[in-house]
């Protein structure tokens, strides 16, 4: 049996799968993301973000199929008003095997926990703001990345600390603006902001509308795509625009 961590974490940085989103409102509508390797859809994620306790509460369910096995995950994140993480939990079931991971962030520390069967591990690391959970690397986590970047009012590249509680690990990545683009959401044309995330030797392209709502993520090196089912990219290429790397703290 394959372990849960390689199946989920490798899915974006090395392979891919598919998901969907629910946008926040008094009665959130379901928005579906297809995540594809080439032209093959791999699964779905449904997520919802609502205002809660002066910040936000993100809940998510993931259904996908990888290596012939079904994977089901439930995620919950409590986020501050600037979209930085406060608490995080992820419960994953694959081939009747269960795994739980989580993180608590407070007082400049990150306490991560990972549990699989009888094995449980904990690790405490230093917080390096701005910080983001990228545990199973799904569209909802890219949504939080864009929202947090916008909350920083950044105009240049920003380096983030990415947390991976499943393996009690972390890595860094740099998000930077990369011009403008356009597309169609339903029957409505939308103007888009494009971003590039540079991490672990890979460049990921991210598109969001003017309100910071995620529309598409693309990893050219793996021909892997996350895209809303009711969204279509325009035909004009995005203009290139990058800035110097800076460290920004909220």
Nearest CA-CA partner of 92 in 166, 21, 37? 166
Q: What is the pLDDT of residue 47?
A: 87
C-alpha to C-alpha distance for 88 and 154, rounded to whole angstroms: 25
Using an 8 Å Cβ cutoff, are 74 and 47 in contact? Answer: no
Domain residue spans in the chain?
Answer: 4-246
Q: Which residues pair with 177 in a beta bridge?
A: 195
Q: For every one of its 250 residues, what pLDDT tens digit does the chain have, with 9 covering 90 and above?
A: 444 444 444 444 433 333 333 334 445 667 778 878 787 888 888 889 999 999 999 999 888 887 778 899 999 999 999 999 999 999 999 888 899 999 999 999 999 999 998 999 999 999 999 999 999 889 999 999 999 999 999 889 999 999 999 999 999 999 999 999 999 999 999 999 999 999 999 999 999 999 999 999 999 998 889 888 889 999 865 433 333 333 333 3
Using an 8 Å Cβ cutoff, are 220 and 205 in contact? Answer: yes
| 3-state per-residue secondary structure call for 182-232 | EEEECCEEEEEEEEEEEECCEEEEEEEECCCCEEEEEEHHHCEEEEECCEE
């Amino acid at each position: 049996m394959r372990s849960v961590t390689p199946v989920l974490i490798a899915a974006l940085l090395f392979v891919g799968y598919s998901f969907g989103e629910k946008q926040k409102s008094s009665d959130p509508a379901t928005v579906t993301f297809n995540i594809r390797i080439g032209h093959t859809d791999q699964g779905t994620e449904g997520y919802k973000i609502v205002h809660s306790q002066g910040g936000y509460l993100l809940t998510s369910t993931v259904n996908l199929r990888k290596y012939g096995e079904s994977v089901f995950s439930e995620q919950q994140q409590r986020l501050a008003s600037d979209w930085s993480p406060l608490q995080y939990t992820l419960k994953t079931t694959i081939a009747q095997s269960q795994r739980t991971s989580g993180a608590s962030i407070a007082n400049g520390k990150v306490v991560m926990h990972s549990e699989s069967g009888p094995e449980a591990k904990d690790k405490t690391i230093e917080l390096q703001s701005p910080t983001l959970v990228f545990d199973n690397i799904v569209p909802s986590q890219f949504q939080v990345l864009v929202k947090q970047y916008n909350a920083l009012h950044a105009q240049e590249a920003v380096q983030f600390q990415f947390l991976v509680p499943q393996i009690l690990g972390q890595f860094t990545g740099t998000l930077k603006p990369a011009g403008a683009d356009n597309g169609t959401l339903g029957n409505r044309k939308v103007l888009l902001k494009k971003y590039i995330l540079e991490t672990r030797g890979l460049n990921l392209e991210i598109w969001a509308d003017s309100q910071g709502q995620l529309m598409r993520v693309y990893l050219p090196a793996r021909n892997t795509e996350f895209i809303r089912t009711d969204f279509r990219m325009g035909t004009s290429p995005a203009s290139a625009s990058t800035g110097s790397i800076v460290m920004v703290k909220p």
